[in-house]
Structure 1
Amino acid sequence: MQRILLATDFSERSDRAARRATLLAKTTGASLALVHVVDDDRPKRIFEAEQRAAEALLAEQARSFREIDGLSCTSRIVMGDPFEGIAAAVRETDADLLVVGPHRRQVLRDVFIGTTAERTIRASERPVLMANGVPAGPYRHVLVAVDLSECSATAIRALQKLGLGSKCVVSVVHIFDAPAASLMVRASSTKEGIRNYLEDEKERVSGELAAFLNDIGLKPKRRILKHNETSIAHTIAATVREANADLVVVGTVGRTGVAKVLLGSVAEKVLRRADFDILAVPPVRET
């Protein structure tokens, strides 16, 4: 990883993203770039005043990163829509990773809903790290959620390229559906029959997961298989707690990508309130 872009709004909660970006820059040797977007769709007097204040704050923050943390750090102010401005900054800096914090929850919620998702994650073409947890040091346990799709493979490649899992435990969780189980329950099948069916499904999926990981060249510490009984997001959150993971990696498109992991009422509640970091990896664009 060579370049990290940190998006900040100067809030106290955005300090969490700043601390995480600092840790990543120090451990990987990457340079750091700061970006703040000033909404220009306001009266000129207000817009210009905020621009001047933001330039001073951002310059001071960049100077602190250089002089105190010893990082190579630049800064820029972007005018316009927040999401479009951040996406443009990602392209202009050719950042390997965009780091955002849990600040402005209402806005961050919109990042992953509807068309705004494409305007941020997909438009950026680069992985986005949501720094929800309190950074206490380098990551200790990374949990990769996979659905055996190419998008999951892309997420794993991004994790490897960024080096985020090189010095910590890496586990993989695959949550599988067993649609016949509910039919068997309604048909009053025996508990033993349902259990046998689920065990057979788990064995089949285990083989598929092993082949997938072998093809991608990942040898995780643990391979976790779970039957989806509630929702993908709920099960992932529960697995994070069980495994004591501090970073979750997901692909943003796929059978259980953003459409199922980051959308919907249950998923929205789980991930918006999550106290673990989330690395969302967009698909590779075709040229």
Structure 2
Amino acid sequence: MKGQFSNILCVLHDTHGQDVLVERAMQIANKHNASLTIMLALEALPPNARMIMQSFEYLESDSSLTQSAQSWLDEQIAVWSKQYPAKGIVSTGHRFINIIRQVVSADHDLVIKLNENDVVSKITGSDDRHLLRKCPCPVWIMHKVRTTSLQNVVAAVDVNYHYPQHEVAIRKQLALDILNTAWRVAEAENASLHVVHVYDAVPENILRQGFISVDEDAVQHDLSKIKLEREEEVNRLLGLIALDHNDESPTIAEPAVHLVRGYPRRDIAATANACNADLIVMGTLSRLGVPGYIMGGTAEETIEQIDCAVVGLKPDGFVTPVDVDG
């Protein structure tokens, strides 16, 4: 079931200041009764190292790097495992590729890592973006500063199903998965859940700018129909989730639903910020089945405008474009 994690991968990209991330990952693993693997993902020695070393010296140094890193991690695992059992692995090379290969080979259902960007208000660096675009399981990018327990969890859902028919069922399932994940995280954290949907007002703006002429009453009527349609769908999805959680305890308070008329690329982030979001759960794709549209423009721009953690989800059946057998 989405949102219930059983095999978590916690990724470290440094040997300094990692205790807070590991502690947080262990808290999450404990709440989900999940197994935990801690991966120290290092970049390989730079290619120009070959220019200043003989070939055998380079290979020896590369091997020594891995061995030293594994020794460090083994010592840390011995300490960290006193709080929660974990195992450790080391990889060197292209970080995001090795992370995805580990996810596929070990069937992890959640990746947790710190934002790698030096600017803490920007949640994602290069590897983070690659993972949000290409990792087949949910990716939880934690804020460098705000790593403590959560107060407000936002589920950003797209319940606009006016797309080609072959996409609709996938979009409905993804919306349900986003809500279910956000619900379970909020429940585990004893946090408030906010459901955000922004219905696009661009057509309305075009009309008002005079490019075409229509009856004003008709415009308002159409907007009212859109709002009702989206409200009914959000309530339907929440009803399905409530039924799934009916026999479980504890549960969360009734979610706050925010239906906003506006521009998704601006107003999803604005609404999440207004909710004092500590975490936003969202889909990180655009048009389904269209090559190159893994990280949608709406997701990309939303992430740029928020100052909180992100959990990015893919639809069922998503296959990573990374060569996992290389």
Equivalence for 2:166: none
| Rounded Cα–Cα distance in structure 1 between residues aligned with 2:268 and 2:77 | 36
Q: CA deviation at 1:235?
A: 1.9
Are 2:293 and 1:261 aligned?
no
Q: Which residue of 2 aligns with 1:143?
A: 154
- How many residues were matched structurally? 269
Structure 2 match to 1:210: 235
Task: Select the residue among 221, 225, 230 that pairs with 2:259.
Answer: 225
| Cα deviation, residue 31, structure 1 | 2.7
Within the candidate set 39, 45, 64, 2:43 is matched to 39
**Aligned partners of 1:183 and 1:108: how far apart in 2?**
33
Look up the equivalent residue of 1:109 and give its one-letter code.
G
Distance 1:181 1:124, change over 3 A: closer
1:196-219 CA-partner distances (Å, limit 9, x unpaired): 764554334323332343355589
Deviation of the 1:24 alpha carbon: 0.9
Q: What are the equivalent positions in structure 2 for 1:18-97 lying under 5 Å apart?
A: 18-40=22-44, 42=46, 43-67=58-82, 70-97=83-110
The amino acid that maps onto 2:147 is: P
Structure 2 residue 312 is matched with structure 1 residue 280: yes
Q: Are the equivalent residues in 1 in contact too, given 2:9–2:39 (CA < 8 A)?
A: yes
Do the aligned partners of residues 16 and 103 (structure 1) sit closer, same or farther apart at CA in structure 2, a change above 3 Å counting? farther
State the 1:276 CA deviation. 1.3
- Deviation string, structure 1 residues 171-220 (Cα, Å, up to 9, x no partner): 2100111333212321299xx86777645543343233323433555895
Gaps of 5+ in 1: none
SS of alignment partner, residue 275 of structure 1: coil
SS of 2:185's equivalent? Answer: coil
Distance 1:82 1:112 in 2: 10
Alignment of 1:92-171 (within 5 A): 92-104=105-117, 108-111=124-127, 116=130, 120-121=131-132, 123-132=134-143, 134-137=146-149, 139-148=150-159, 149=171, 150-159=173-182, 163-166=184-187, 167-171=190-194
Q: 1:6 aligns with which of 3, 10, 22?
A: 10
Indicate conservation of the 8 Å contact 2:11/2:38, yes or no: yes
Deviation at 1:140, TM superposition (A): 2.5
Contact kept in structure 1, 2:116 and 2:125, CA below 8 Å = no
Contact 1:171–1:224 (CA under 8 A) maintained in structure 2: yes
Aligned pair 1:252/2:293, yes or no?
Answer: no
TM (normalized to structure 1)? Answer: 0.78
CA–CA separation in structure 1 for the residues paired with 2:254 and 2:181: 15
Equivalent residue, structure 1, for 2:162: none
Cα separation, 2, equivalents of 1:14 and 1:222: 34
Structure 1 residues 123 and 277: alpha-carbon distance in aligned structure 2, compared to 1, 3 A threshold: same
| CA gap 1:237/1:122 in 2 versus in 1, 3 angstroms | closer
Q: 2:268 & 2:18 partners in 1: Cα distance? A: 25
Letter in 1 for 2:153: V
Alignment of 1:181-192 (within 5 A): 181-187=204-210
- Secondary structure at the aligned position of 1:173 is classed as strand
Q: Could you give the per-residue CA deviations for residues 142-167 of structure 1, whole angstroms, max 9, x where no partner exists?
A: 1100002232223234445xx31223
- Match for residue 238 of structure 1? 270
Q: Is the Cα contact below 8 Å between 1:37 and 1:79 reproduced in 2?
A: yes
Q: CA deviation at 1:47?
A: 2.0
Gaps of 5+ in 2: 47-57, 160-170, 244-252, 289-293, 320-326
Shift of 1:122: 5.8
TM-superposed deviation, 1:16: 4.7
Distance 1:268 1:283 in 2: 19
